[in-house]
Homo-oligomer: A and B are copies of this chain.
Amino acid sequence: MPFRTHMDAALAEARAAAARGEVPVGAVVVDPAGRAVAQAGNRTREMSDPSAHAEMLALRAACAAAGSERLPGHSLYVTLEPCAMCAQAIAFARIARLYYGAADPKSGGVAHGARVFAHPQAHHRPEIYPGLAEREAAALLRAFFAARR
């Protein structure tokens, strides 16, 4: 099951982020042949960079490797619903398919709040598949925040 393999890699990135003291979110970019070409976990604290979300780091690495601002035909797997920043970056990169795990009513920008892809200003709307490995992704986040309280 390639879906599951890629989401497992994203979950592993999320767990590694938690071990670094970062909010546990992970992402993987997959090329049209089904190969993972970049993966990352959240590094906002380590890098002192509010834009260093897992999706942004994975997209930037995949674009740098491709030598292009755009990744047509590529998929992005991420453990949490992207925020408005990441959703707009996904649109700029022309990602074809977005698979995500847990919904994020508090900070999400795909199915909540800004709903970035619902406006023509997004330029591009990927196919969106929510709820993949949702329980595991959400459990990681819950455990992380419970331990910090």
Question: Residues on A close to B: CB < 8 A?
Answer: 44-45, 47-51, 56, 59-60, 63-64, 66-70, 83-89, 92-93, 106-109, 112-116, 118-123
Contact = CB atoms under 8 A, between A and B. Distances in A.
B84 A122 contact: yes
Nearest to A66: B48
A114 B85 contact: no
Identical copies in the complex: 2
Contacts of A56: 51
A109 B92 CA distance: 13
Most B CB contacts (10 A, CB to CB) among A51, A69, A119 go to: A51
Nearest to A84: B88
Contact of A50 (B69, B106, B112, B118): B69
A100 B93 CA distance: 25
